Amino acid sequence: MRKLLIIVLFLFTLLPGWANAQENTNPGNDEFFGEYRSGKIIDVTTDDNGLRLYLTRMSNGEVLEVNTYGETVKVGSKIYIEYFPATDTFNYATVDRSGPIFLLTILFVGSILILAGKKGARSLISLVLSFVLLFFVLVPMLTNGFDPILTTLIFGLCVLFLSIFVTHGFNRQSLVSFLGSFASILVALILLQLATEMVSVSGLINEHIGQLNFELGNTLNLVRIVSAGIIIGILGVLDDITITQVAVVRELSSDTTLSKSDIFKKSLRVGRDHISSLVNTLVFAYMGSTLPLIMFVSLIDVPFMILIGQEFIFIEIIRSLIGAIALTIAVPVTTYLAVYVFLGAINKDEKSLESACGHTHH
């Protein structure tokens, strides 16, 4: 199983190179080719029409009057502009906001390493590798026309492999967690397919996905792209609940007076508490990211059925519901596998670990 998963992961990482080799490149018009340059705002002025302009000293020493299109920027801030050599013009791009990101990243990594030690380090490694797969494997494949659902399914398998096996080791406990998580992903995919086929859905839920489709020549299946995004959002919490369920089963199995049926029932009771907390976490994470949308909805005076029929609201609702259902399914599936299929192997792994830890040299 370990070798098979590593082979799948390796093959998955090779596909973007093949996809890029097949892609028809279009050099485009040089007039629209731009390069990004940085500068520091040294003063603020206004033109004859009262338009605020920011005097910006570029890295080459040149001072430019930059129009930020209404965005207020502090003097001393570093900004980026996009320069077009063919026309000798430039546009304001953005403020440099990397400082807080780097600071919070350092705090995040430091807290993980201090509190979780070696296992925290392994989880960070799996996280970095997952991001590499996302940006350098999944995204190129999707933009090159690979089926979003199938590609995301394989991506999900690879991410679960990294997050579970790299963090928790190659053992039966990790295997059960992996199988339970992947089964939940399959259930989520089926529910997504049913939900999007029962009603008319276009996938145009915001301006960004519309712009993406335009840039790619209207070649994307937007409904499947949206579905893929929902699946990716579920991945992060599945390994947590499945690993915990297997650990509960392992601990309960140390009581030899309990039958498999007793272990299954007791483990499910623990899982119910875990489900309730994680469902709240998942739903409120989605709600927090869409708070402006919720505020906008509160101002609309339309019937409830009309409101939930709006596609962008419909997608957010099924995103939360399917994520919650996937979490709920993960508990009984993982618990069943741990108790009735892999219990002996899990206990054998635990005894081997205890034996290794207890063996010392004098």
- The model's pLDDT over 174-194, given as tens digits with 9 standing for 90+, comes to 899 999 999 999 999 999 999
Pairing of the two strands 35-46 and 63-66 = unpaired
Residue percentage of the chain with pLDDT more than 70: 87
The per-residue pLDDT of the chain, averaged, comes to 84
Mean pLDDT, rounded, for 339-361: 60
Mean pLDDT, rounded, for 230-239: 84
d(CA 181, CA 323): 12
> Residue 31 has what pLDDT?
53
**Residue 246 CB neighbour total at 10 angstroms:** 27
What's the pLDDT band for 33 if we cut at 50, 70, 90?
A: confident
Does the pTM exceed 0.85?
no
Question: Which of 120-134, 314-328, 334-348 is the least confident region?
Answer: 334-348
> Residue 3 has what pLDDT?
61
Higher pLDDT among residues 329 and 343, named by residue? 329
What's the pLDDT band for 349 if we cut at 50, 70, 90?
A: low
Per DSSP, the three-state class of 191 is helix
Contacts of 78 (CB under 8 A, 6+ apart): 38, 39, 40, 41, 95, 96
What's the pLDDT band for 91 if we cut at 50, 70, 90?
A: very high
Rg of the Cα atoms in the chain: 26
d(CA 164, CA 330): 14
What's the pLDDT band for 361 if we cut at 50, 70, 90?
A: very low
Residue percentage of the chain with pLDDT more than 90: 39
How do residues 283-304 score in pLDDT, each as one tens digit?
A: 787 778 778 877 887 787 888 8
d(CA 137, CA 129): 11
DSSP tag of 170:
S
Q: Taking CA 204 as the corner, what is the angle to CA 325 and CA 317, rounded to the nearest 5 degrees?
A: 25
pLDDT of 355 higher than 70: no
What's the pLDDT band for 27 if we cut at 50, 70, 90?
A: very low
Q: Which domains does the chain have, with CATH numbers?
A: 33-96 (2.40.50), 143-358 (no CATH)
> Residue 352 has what pLDDT?
47
Question: Which of 54-68, 127-141, 177-191, 233-247 is the least confident region?
Answer: 233-247
> Residue 88 has what pLDDT?
86
Measured in whole angstroms, the distance separating CA 46 from the mean position of its chain's CA atoms is 43
Mean pLDDT, rounded, for 158-179: 89
> Residue 43 has what pLDDT?
94
How do residues 190-220 score in pLDDT, each as one tens digit?
A: 999 999 888 888 888 888 888 888 888 888 8
